[in-house]
Structure 1
């Protein structure tokens, strides 16, 4: 498997294993099975003939209802990755997730960009065929067939040939899909000892992911060791930017230590 070394803004190197084509295809297949299952169930529950009679054959209304029914499928990967910390159900089962190239959780804008550009990664065929059909080329059927194959494989081909196994949406959104092969070891790196009577101060820390806290802890340890005050200031600013915490500590060191303890408190003690 390919590995990816990310150098954070605080000059700490974090090593990840990049998800391979097989893992991503299996996750994609699982997600599509869920989508088709949803469509099958919904269209067997709804009696569209009854709806047609109820709306007196108003095709626009029927089409509008059909579009509303398909919204969960259309936006499935987008809201799943936002709500599930870079994962869909398929990705969770295959133990892979989306992160940005700095090692942190992607922003909502990153997720939206990545989702929107699926139109190029997997549906380029549709865009090109619209053009081909409009100009009326000779051997049109053969061209459309070739375009179908090419258009559906763009994302797959990019994942195979790019250094970080990125499709076009990943490249533009600066994201990469990693394999969480060392989940137990990964969790151990964020553990912090807490006193039994410990009282947390910053509930907003739950907006961080395990990966964020891992990077924060490793960066913090390195900065403390070398008295790198500039990195401590930058790290504190990044935490505040991501979580929206209003700091109650004047010292960068005390603030970051409290954030690490609070994260452990809210995620493991409650």
Structure 2
């Protein structure tokens, strides 16, 4: 897991992408690049074949081929990740993404650094350096990621209502803690992350994190006297928040 600590001093985690997933995404991207190459070459050949003087046209217009073919292939990973928020076509299909080490969107400098190191880690060494680094690092990072302060993580799939800030609240539901109106979407998101992280930790560590979160929220709301367990209290806070905001 890639661990981070939020402003509420709650430690959250992201699951780094596995080597197999990264390799699969790499080959998928290679396939798409190959298709692009074949299509451009076919169009180039067709256009020159129908010309009046194909040989001279080819020589005079080689710069066009270079711009249309070579540059996009060289910049494919950089451009696609910058435009698509950490995705390339291959990564999108596999379900992995480039992010900053704190789980937020990577910066342009981060994308640029990891792209520049592709030349050494992947292109010049057939991916051996990147493979070894990711295995040894254990955080979804190759050298370019380490220097660019990025990592590659798995995306959550099959998003349901429970994976969002929203919670189903019955029409007749009575609020327990009206003070939750003081909380923000960010606070509720942190609470849900803590509740959902049960499967990522052994029970003792998760329980300590749960109690720490409960204490922080109780302090924020100014409530202490209630008979709810830690997880029940936090789930009630989420329901109250949704009831107040009509979600």
TM-score class, shorter: 0.5 to 0.7
Give the match's secondary structure for 2:98: strand
Which sits farther off after the overlay, 75-84 or 218-227?
Answer: 218-227
Given that 2:86 and 2:105 are in contact with CA atoms closer than 8 Å, whether structure 1 keeps it comes out as yes
Partner of 1:110: 110
Out of 155, 176, 180, the residue aligned to residue 130 of structure 2 is 155
Q: TM-score, length-normalised on structure 1? A: 0.57
Given that 1:190 and 1:214 are in contact with CA atoms closer than 8 Å, whether structure 2 keeps it comes out as no
Q: List runs of 5+ in structure 1 lacking aligned partners.
A: 126-149, 194-212, 229-260, 262-268
Deviation at 1:226, TM superposition (A): 3.4
Assess, with a 3 A threshold, how the Cα gap between structure 1 residues 65 and 214 changes in structure 2: closer, same or farther.
farther
Aligned-partner Cα distance in 2 for 1:52–1:171: 54
Give the match's secondary structure for 1:106: coil
Aligned-partner Cα distance in 2 for 1:176–1:187: 26
Assess, with a 3 A threshold, how the Cα gap between structure 1 residues 183 and 6 changes in structure 2: closer, same or farther.
farther
Out of 5, 11, 14, the residue aligned to residue 13 of structure 1 is 11
Aligned-partner Cα distance in 1 for 2:109–2:8: 23
Q: List runs of 5+ in structure 2 lacking aligned partners.
A: 169-184, 194-212, 222-241
String of CA shifts for 1:37-63, please: whole Å, max 9, x gaps.
01101101112755794683674x533
Q: TM-score, length-normalised on structure 2? A: 0.62
Aligned-partner Cα distance in 1 for 2:65–2:95: 33
Aligned-partner Cα distance in 2 for 1:52–1:10: 71
Deviation at 1:9, TM superposition (A): 4.9
String of CA shifts for 1:205-244, please: whole Å, max 9, x gaps.
xxxxxxxx7788318996654339xxxxxxxxxxxxxxxx
Assess, with a 3 A threshold, how the Cα gap between structure 1 residues 225 and 81 changes in structure 2: closer, same or farther.
farther
Given that 1:12 and 1:219 are in contact with CA atoms closer than 8 Å, whether structure 2 keeps it comes out as no
Aligned-partner Cα distance in 2 for 1:187–1:36: 40
Partner of 1:172: 147
Report which of the two structures shows the higher radius of gyration computed on alpha carbons. 2
String of CA shifts for 1:165-212, please: whole Å, max 9, x gaps.
31111111111111124542597233379xxxxxxxxxxxxxxxxxxx
Assess, with a 3 A threshold, how the Cα gap between structure 1 residues 57 and 183 changes in structure 2: closer, same or farther.
same
Partner of 1:67: 66
Aligned-partner Cα distance in 2 for 1:85–1:187: 24
Give the length in aligned residue pairs: 187
Aligned-partner Cα distance in 2 for 1:215–1:64: 55
Partner of 1:122: 122
Given that 2:48 and 2:57 are in contact with CA atoms closer than 8 Å, whether structure 1 keeps it comes out as no
